[in-house]
Amino acid sequence: MSTNPDNILAQPVGTTLERYIMRKQSEFAFATGELSQLLRDIALAGKIINREVNRAGLSELKGAFGTENIQGEQQQKLDVVANIRFIRALKNGGQACAVLSEEEDEIIQTGNNQGKYVVAMDPLDGSANIDVNVPIGTIFSIYRRVSPVGTPATREDFLQGGRKQVAAGYVLYGSSTMLVYTTGHGVVGFTYEHSLGEFFLSHPELRIPQDGKIFSCNEGHWFDYPEFVRTYLMECKRKGYNGRYVGSLVADYHRSLLMGGIYMYPPTEKKPQGKLRLLYECYPLAFIIEQAGGAAVAGADNTAVLDIVPTDCHQRSPLFIGSSHMVEKIVAGATEKAATTVKVS
């Protein structure tokens, strides 16, 4: 082992997000700097939310806010804070002409009508877990606007479909804070270094294993799940697979991305269209997973999530996402069950 002080005391700290974005800017579809700046704005907001999450217990930011969002869900105080912080960062950044948020009914015009992009986001996924210190996250999706530059954004800017995303990602606030994103050229992950206030490249080429032994779903809905889902889950249990579910989509998804596995939020009798929102939960995570070599479908008919035609800004969708072989297996089981049913009848 070398005793050279340079090797011991001055090891490189790594590649910052800022430097990485500048190096990769030439790969962006429209490499004029606006998308690069937009990613920086999102990273800045992520740093601010990381601070708010870490001090929530000391600053009276835990607990319910006392209102419901457009989804009919109880808003937590940090939901409201995260929504404000991200919208403010995107307004001040100047690159996004509009924002679609889970927390608000209507499109939020930033006043930056010259901006070429729109952002759809879930400012704080899994907020029901805030009070019990379970990892939570932010999910975002970026589109190049289709409405004329210089005018306010329209619904059509957000209803382009999942294949039109130019970038998507998430920020995970857990034992460490990570920013994971794709611009359609693979998936990269950055870990936040608190003392320096910077995101550093920690996962340069994220690829999900093609198979896994982890399944994530809320088995409390067992009797409301379609039969093909229950059959698949029974098979997983017979094989000794591990059931892992914390109730934060970003956290459960992130584990599957790194270790291999499948996350499921199937349709139920009460929610036949599923619970997760298509534009700012399913689309961005599906874009990432496909770029990482995995798969994401919406149900038994094997429709790729990114091929679903959107009709509403707050549209919902079932979701089966993760290792490609596991997703293929559950779809094959559904197809086989349907074929058997038709033959018997």
Binding residues for Mg(2+): 102, 122, 124-125, 281
Residues annotated within a binding site for substrate: 218, 245, 275
Q: Nearest Cα to 111, choosing from 65, 150, 54? A: 150
Sequence-distant (≥ 6) Cβ neighbours of residue 299 within 8 angstroms: 266, 267, 318, 320, 334
- The one-letter code for the residue type at 290 is E
How far does Cα 144 stand from its chain's mean position?
Answer: 18
- The one-letter code for the residue type at 134 is V
Q: Give residue for tokens 């001055």.
A: 10
Distance, in Å, from the CA atom of 188 to the CA atom of 206, rounded to the nearest integer, reads 6
How far does Cα 325 stand from its chain's mean position?
Answer: 21
Contact status, residue 263 vs residue 208, Cβ threshold 8 Å: no
Sequence-distant (≥ 6) Cβ neighbours of residue 314 within 8 angstroms: 70, 71, 102, 105, 277, 279
DSSP 211-235: --SEEE--GGGGGGS-HHHHHHHHH
Distance, in Å, from the CA atom of 287 to the CA atom of 270, rounded to the nearest integer, reads 27
Query: What's the farthest any 2 CA atoms get from each other in the chain?
Result: 78
CA distances from 152 to 87, 102, 148 (A): 16, 20, 8
Contact status, residue 190 vs residue 179, Cβ threshold 8 Å: yes
Count of residues for the chain?
Answer: 345
Residues annotated within a binding site: 102, 122, 124-125, 218, 245, 275, 281
**H or E element in which residue 338 lies:** helix 324-344
Judging by DSSP bridges, how do beta strands 214-216 and 242-243 pair with one another?
A: parallel
Indicate the angle between helix axes 227-238 and 324-344, nearest 10 degrees.
130
